[in-house]
Amino acid sequence: MNEKRKILQCLIENRAFAPSASALAKDLGYESNKATLYRIMRDETKDSTVDDVWDKLLEEHCLTERHLHNLARIFEGAAYFSDLILPEMDRKHPKWLRYLLLMLTDDDYEACSPEFQQETAPILKDLKADEPDVYWGIVTVIYIRCRNIDPYKENPQRTFCLLIDELDSMLSYWYPERTDAHEISFNLKELTKASNLWKIIENCTILFRRYTEADFSSYASQSMMLFGWDAKSFWRIPGHPYLQGSQVWVLVEHSFGRATNGCYIVLCLEAGKDICTFVLKDALVFCFWSVDKEDDPLILQACRGTGAHREWCFYAYGYDEETHTLYLEANPATGNLFGLPEAMKQINLEKPKDKEEKVWARIMNKWDKEQGNSIFEQAKALFAGRIDLKDTYQLEDVSISRTCLKLFIRHNGDSRTYQLPIEAYDFLQKINPTQQVLIVRHTDDQDIYVEWPEMGYGIKLSEFEVH
C-alpha cells in the first residue's frame, strides 16, 4: 500500500485534525467533494489524489512530512503500548491513571511484571531518550483515551485547557522545583490555539518535556538567536526621509531566558498625516535561525499570526554591523509574502548621525513615549486572535446563583444585565465571581465572547439574554 495513503488513513481514523473525514475534507477545500477522504479510507482513490490531500494537509497546518509520519507513529504506538501497559495496572484503584502517568514519566516499572520489565520497559526507555516527541505524544494519547476525553465533543480549546491543568497539577507535584515549567502551562493556555487533537498532543508534549528535561528550554531556544540590538529598536528603509506614508519597523526583543537566544516581535508602522500619527499595518515575528557551521546559510523565518491561521515566509539575510543595516532576500519558494524591503537600517535614537536620521529619531522617541505601549497591545491582539473590548464593554459586576449567571455590562453609556442559565454549560457550576472575566472579539469570526482565561472557557455574548 502507498505509504502516504496508510498514514492518511491512520490520521483520519484517529481524528488528528478534525472530528470527521467530512469535516477535514471541508477544511482542506473539498467542500464540493467531501467523499474524497472517505474514498481514501476505502482504498478507492488514485495515488495522485492521495498526494493532493497530503500536500493540502501540510500546507493547511504548516507541517512537514516528518510531522505526519511521527503523528501516525504516535497513534499506532498508543494502541500498541496500551495493550501492553493497561494489563499491568490495577484499574480498580481510584488513582490508577495517576500511577500510570507517574510510571511513564519517571521510568519506574518496578511494580510491573518481570516480563514487562524485561521486554517492554527497555523499548519505552529507548524511545523516550531517542525520540521524545514521539514518546510523549504516545503518553498524551494514552492518557486522553484512558480518561475517555473526546476533544471535539464540546470545544477543543476548552478540552486542551482542562487537560493542561490536569497534567500540570500532577507534574508540578512531582517536579516542584520546575517553576519555569509550571509557568509554561499558563502560557500554553493563553497563547495556544488548540483547534484539533494534533495541537493538543503537540502542546502537551511541550509541557511534558519542559518538566522532565532540564535542558529542553535551552535546546529549543538555541535554534533562534538574538543580536546585540536594543530591547526595542527602530528601522527604516535606507535613504528614505520621514514623509506621510513612510514605513518604519519596530523590533521588540523576546528572549528565552538566555542573552543570545530568542525572537523579535515586529510592529510594521506607516506614518500618518502628522508626526504624532503612525498606523499599525502589520505584526510579525522574526526568528533568526542559529548557524552551526560557517558556511550555513543565514535564514530569517518570518511569521504572521491572524487568529487560528499562521502564514510563514523565509528570507536569506545579511547584517552589516558597521552601518547597522539588515539586508533581506525573499526565498523564491515562499516569495516576499510580507512585503519587507530589501534593506532596513536601524535608527540611532540616542546619537543620530545626519539631519534625516535626527528627524526620525525625534519623531520615533516621541511616538514611543506617547503611543508605543498601546500599539504594542494592538499587535499582541493580532497574534492572539483576540481583541480586548474592556474600553467599550465595561464589566461592572458578576453575579452567580444556583440557577443563573449575570454579567452587568456598560456599553455605549447604557448599563445592561446579560443573563445565562447555569444549566446551559456544565462548567458554569465551577466558576466563581472572583475569577477574571474578559470580553473579547475573536479575529477569526469577529464574534464577541465572554471568557474565563484562567480556566480556558468562553461563551458567545450573543447567547446571553439582555435585560
pLDDT given at position 340: 95
Residues 201 and 151: their CA atoms lie apart, in Å, by: 11
pLDDT given at position 307: 39
- Please say if the pLDDT value at position 266 is more than 60: yes
Q: Are 184 and 172 in contact (CB under 8 A)?
A: no
Q: What 3-state DSSP class applies to 260?
A: coil
Residues 360 and 250: their CA atoms lie apart, in Å, by: 13
Q: How confident is the model at residue 177 (pLDDT cuts 50, 70, 90)?
A: low
CA distances from 122 to 14, 117, 130, 177, 392 (A): 27, 7, 12, 28, 59
- Please say if the pLDDT value at position 259 is more than 60: no
Retrieve residue 300's grid coordinates: 530569517
User: What crossing angle do the helices spanning 47-60 and 65-85 adopt, rounded to 10°?
Assistant: 90
Phi and psi dihedrals of 301, rounded to 5? -105, 120
pLDDT given at position 379: 72
Q: Are 163 and 146 in contact (CB under 8 A)?
A: no
**Across 7-28, average pLDDT:** 91
**Across 423-448, average pLDDT:** 83
**Across 171-176, average pLDDT:** 80
- Please say if the pLDDT value at position 355 is more than 70: yes
Closest CA to 420 of 436, 401, 439, 434: 401
- Please say if the pLDDT value at position 61 is more than 60: yes
The helices-and-strands tally (H runs, E runs) of the chain is 15, 17
- Please say if the pLDDT value at position 178 is more than 60: yes
CA distances from 147 to 92, 108, 143, 163 (A): 14, 21, 6, 10
Phi and psi dihedrals of 264, rounded to 5? -125, 130
More confident of the two residues 124 and 217: 124
Q: What 3-state DSSP class applies to 352?
A: coil
Lowest-confidence segment of 248-257, 333-342, 358-367 by average pLDDT: 248-257
**Across 127-141, average pLDDT:** 95
Q: How confident is the model at residue 454 (pLDDT cuts 50, 70, 90)?
A: low
**Across 431-459, average pLDDT:** 81
Percent of the chain residues topping a pLDDT of 70:
88
Q: How confident is the model at residue 294 (pLDDT cuts 50, 70, 90)?
A: low
> Domain ranges in the chain?
3-218, 224-383, 387-466
Retrieve residue 157's grid coordinates: 480549546
Q: Are 313 and 337 in contact (CB under 8 A)?
A: yes
Percent of the chain residues topping a pLDDT of 90:
45
Q: How confident is the model at residue 308 (pLDDT cuts 50, 70, 90)?
A: very low
**Residues 6 or more apart in contact with residue 449 via CB below 8 angstroms:** 439, 440, 441, 442, 458, 459, 460, 461
pLDDT given at position 117: 94
- Please say if the pLDDT value at position 464 is more than 70: yes
Half-sphere exposure in the Cβ direction for 403 (13 Å, CA): 0
- Please say if the pLDDT value at position 291 is more than 70: no
Q: How confident is the model at residue 385 (pLDDT cuts 50, 70, 90)?
A: low
- Please say if the pLDDT value at position 105 is more than 80: yes
**Across 72-91, average pLDDT:** 95
Lowest-confidence segment of 94-108, 192-206, 251-265, 292-306 by average pLDDT: 251-265
The mean pLDDT value of the chain amounts to 85
Highest mean pLDDT among 23-32, 218-227, 398-407, 432-441: 398-407
CA distances from 117 to 77, 90, 110 (A): 18, 17, 7
Q: How confident is the model at residue 258 (pLDDT cuts 50, 70, 90)?
A: very low
- The per-residue pLDDT for range 213-246, each reduced to its tens digit, is 866 655 554 567 788 888 889 999 999 999 999 9
